[in-house]
Structure 1
Amino acid sequence: MGDKLEAATHGATPTPPPLDRPKLLAWLLSKKGHRNPLTGAIYDGMRARIERGDFDQEAHRG
């Protein structure tokens, strides 16, 4: 099966579509009041890190 996939993509790594950042942030914000406080804190922390730009690829390339 892997040979067929590699042949179809000619060895290239498929590029995922870009994320819709505002939509992702809105979804994470909607999870802030999660019934499990730990899960809610994780979602809130992810939202804060994305807003700060911790995951921006362009800023970390050197």
Structure 2
Amino acid sequence: MNSDPDPFEEGQRAARQNIPAEANPYQNGSDEHALWAAGHEQIAGPREANESEGT
């Protein structure tokens, strides 16, 4: 079993907890940073789009 955290899943989890994308814990430019950001965007992107429609 792989016990290493998956950056993509961590990003998704952060978005579900309303943690901002700026809180990405990985070094900018790294593969992990990109994966975390992609996971976060997958969850937060549609949610943020729905929130901005109401304004």
TM-score of the two chains, using structure 1 as the length reference = 0.33
Higher-RCO chain (CA-CA 8 Å, sequence separation at least 6): 2
> Which has the greater radius of gyration?
1
TM-score of the two chains, using structure 2 as the length reference = 0.37
